[in-house]
Structure 1
Amino acid sequence: MNFLSHYYFDRDTTNCYHTLGTVLPDLLKNADKTINIHPEKLHHPDKNINDIILGWQKHLEVDRFFHSSGFFVARSHAVKNLLAPAITGSPVKPFFLGHIALEILLDNLLITNNKVSVDDFYNHLNSCKTEVIKEFLNFSGLKDTDRFFKFYEEFKRSRYLESYVHNHQITYALKRICMRVWHDPFTPEQEEKMTGIITAYRGALQVDFMSIFDYISKLLSPD
């Protein structure tokens, strides 16, 4: 799941460090794909740092439920099949594109249906102290944190997730993600076709997209 989809499950929390923990694995991956830490089994005496760890554990749990769900398997396959003809000749694998397109579409639908507040999300991140985050990263084994913090500060400043309300920005987000692997993943014509397909599929997904959030919520709270 993407940033706001993870945030959905803890949207009512007042704990900024827990919120940060629920999206930190993806923030680190976006900052530098070579970063590889596993703090989920650690415990720290400082409450704020331990709250980040608990949020990190929640992230892993949500992703596990999501990627093993029938919803993900069926919907990502459907998006893949729709997008594949539009990207003929592109180096991007249709399966990869279908996977990330579905995740960003879910973020879009959460925003446009007022299920989450992007402003609240960013307020949580801005409330976390840099020294606490750095101590967490050092404790987890990441000593050189400069690249992460450069990305993280720009992520907060740009408030990029707000752009997800626009369908053409979903295509742009997909392109940006693909550019981490492929220098020039799509032609302008392919991007135009992708936007049309994504817009149409978004309408179909609108009908029952909340079912996956309800499903995961029940697994997170079996009682």
Structure 2
Amino acid sequence: MNFLSHYYFERDNPDENIVLGVILPDLIKNAQKEINLYPLKEKQLFLGDPIQHSLLKGWERHLEVDRVFHNSDFFKVQTHALKQLILPACENSPVKPFFLAHIGIELVLDHILTVKGIINIHTFYEQLIKSDKKAIELFLKNCGVTDTSIFMKFLDNFITSRYLFSYQKIENISYALNRICMRIWPNPFTETQTEMLTEKLIIYRDALEPEYLDIFKRIERMLPPII
């Protein structure tokens, strides 16, 4: 799941550091894709500091949500459905349709959550602003990151840009998908292909809307309370 879909499960959580922890794995991958962190293997490093412990709780919640989501029938069925729909947009493109469908589902879910008003993006960013930046640096250092400046600069830009507000428009989901693909393939889509992708995403979104919330409720029922 993507940033706002992960936030859905903590939308009423007053602990801003848990909220940041919930999206921290994806933030790190966006900031420094070569870094792999495994804080849950050494929990004892974070238990002495309540704020770092909150970050760890959020991190653990992120992994659990992704595990349930990616193993669900919903994900398998919807990945196949979107893959078939976007095949014409991927013709003569280096982009793998399954990869695009996987990411596309997650971004479309974020989009629907915003347009339906299920989550409040402003509140999300306000919580990120309140999160303890010194504790984040210590958390990363405990994970083995020696130079935290790259991530901290990325986090600051992520917060100040308010980029996720753009997810309210479906054409920006196509733009985001194109940008993601550009990290792997040069010139993944032509302008015409991007326009076609938007058309396919609109069809997919309209078909998904009546049942999109089911997967969130299903995951919610399976999640243990944060202690």
SS at 2:107 equivalent? helix
- Alpha-carbon separation, structure 2, partners of 1:59 and 1:221: 12
Q: Is the 8 A contact 1:6 1:23 kept in 2?
A: yes
Q: Identity of aligned pairs, percent?
A: 46
After superposition, the C-alpha distances for 1:145-184 in whole angstroms (9 at most, x for unaligned) are 1221222111111111000010100000101111111121
- Alpha-carbon separation, structure 2, partners of 1:166 and 1:111: 9
**Offset, 1:96:** 0.3
- Higher mean C-alpha displacement, 53-62 vs 78-87: 78-87
Q: Is the 8 A contact 1:40 1:54 kept in 2?
A: no
- Higher mean C-alpha displacement, 213-222 vs 99-108: 213-222
Match of 1:7 in 2: 7
Structure 2's unaligned 5+ residue stretches are none
Q: Is the 8 A contact 1:92 1:185 kept in 2?
A: yes
CA RMSD of aligned residues (A): 1.1
- Report how many aligned residue pairs link the two structures: 222
- Alpha-carbon separation, structure 2, partners of 1:219 and 1:130: 31
After superposition, the C-alpha distances for 1:7-33 in whole angstroms (9 at most, x for unaligned) are 101110110110001000000001111
Matched AA of 2:13: T
SS at 1:197 equivalent? helix
Match of 1:116 in 2: 119
Match of 1:25 in 2: 25
Alignment partner of 1:161 is 2:189:
no
Matched AA of 1:123: E
After superposition, the C-alpha distances for 1:44-101 in whole angstroms (9 at most, x for unaligned) are 2000001000100000000000000000000011111111121111111000000000
- Alpha-carbon separation, structure 1, partners of 2:89 and 2:81: 14
Alignment partner of 1:35 is 2:35:
yes
Matched AA of 1:6: H
**Offset, 1:140:** 1.1
What is the TM-score when the length of structure 2 is the normalising length?
0.95
- Alpha-carbon separation, structure 2, partners of 1:193 and 1:216: 32
Matched AA of 1:117: N
Q: Is the 8 A contact 2:9 2:220 kept in 1?
A: yes
- Alpha-carbon separation, structure 1, partners of 2:107 and 2:197: 13
Alignment partner of 1:50 is 2:60:
no
Matched AA of 2:6: H
Moved over 3 A (4+): none
Match of 1:198 in 2: 201
SS at 2:211 equivalent? coil
What is the TM-score when the length of structure 1 is the normalising length?
0.97
Matched AA of 2:186: H
- Alpha-carbon separation, structure 2, partners of 1:36 and 1:146: 17
